[in-house]
Copies of this chain bind each other. A is one copy, B any other.
Amino acid sequence: MRVFEIQENFGLENLKMSDRGKPKPGPGQAVVAVRAVSLNYRDLMMIRGHYNPRQPLPLIPCSDGVGEVVALGEGVTRLEVGQRVAGAFSQSWIGGPPDAGKLKMTLGGPIDGMLAEEICLDAEGLVPVPEYLSDTEASCLPCAALTAWSALVEQGNVGPGDRVLVLGSGGVSVFALQIARMLGAEVIATSSSEEKRSRLEELGAAATINYAQTPKWSKEVRRLTGGRGVDHVVEVGGSGTLEESLRSVRTGGAVSVIGVLSGISSPLNIIPILMQHLRLQGILVGSREGFEHMNRAFEMHRIRPVIDRVFGFEESVEAFRYFERGSHLGKVCISLVD
């Protein structure tokens, strides 16, 4: 079967198609014929060697994908052949609060990911996905949607009357917008493009801010909230945006740290955290039970993941080239079946 793997050295130029033997399921395992994959910024960092420079190669990248169960190992009762499933990002985080053991075995590094025609995983690490979704739509759930869900629901306790700030229009941010709306909250979104601002408003944002034109966007957030600030920020930018995020949140509010798009280290003034009783919560995706809970919610609300563009399997490198340009809104996907 064909896979894409990072060979010998990091870098997108080393992401190459290759052949591996068909996997056979051991006891407790299942083989999934992958139908669609979606890209996350983490996958790109992994390919570039920025996520974990000590990651052994070759590695099949991509944590997020969906496929059909085609073979089951001995003793598996949880799944059936023919079921459509996604891989859980943290293969051994079933439920409960996270710990080091639960966050260790994650798809797309350190263990091989979904950018392959077939993948063999523990049955416990696979999650049936809602039927109303297309394959590409379902492929967006494991990381991007679940991260937004964990931030707003599991950690954030966001609900009606709350205001949520989402940064930009990447995968997690668009899911955060959709999930916050489903929770009954109001959303303010930032974007550098007027076209994307319109799209975000169509998707339900109550207000949008052009952060290119308004680099001190926290002032605009304060203005839009009558000086109060938002209740929750889904912070994807990292050190480059954190100070503005901390200025945007109300006293007693929370910032979910879910990404580092704009940097990993910069001087941080911690006074607002203390003086405004703020909470910063790092979010590393979420548990399988969180995934299942989210699926029930998505099914009830028929939430449709926003897909920017779909590439073919052979075009996987182009898909990443397109993704790294950062002009997309929502998810960039790869289809293995169309």
Chain A residues with CB under 8 Å of chain B are: 26-28, 73-75, 94-100, 102-103, 153, 157, 159-161, 179, 182-184, 186, 228, 238-239, 242, 250-252, 257-260, 264-284, 287, 289, 293-301
Contact = CB atoms under 8 A, between A and B. Distances in A.
A161 B297 contact: yes
A98 B283 contact: no
B242 A270 contact: yes
A268 B271 contact: no
A196 to B, nearest CB: 24
A85 to B, nearest CB: 17
6 closest residue pairs by CB, A with B: A27-B27, A95-B96, A161-B297, A161-B296, A160-B297, A273-B282
A267 B267 contact: yes
Given A75-B27, A95-B94, A266-B267, A260 B282 contact: no
A277 B103 contact: yes
A74 B74 CA distance: 10
B267 A161 contact: no
Contacts of A99: 250-252
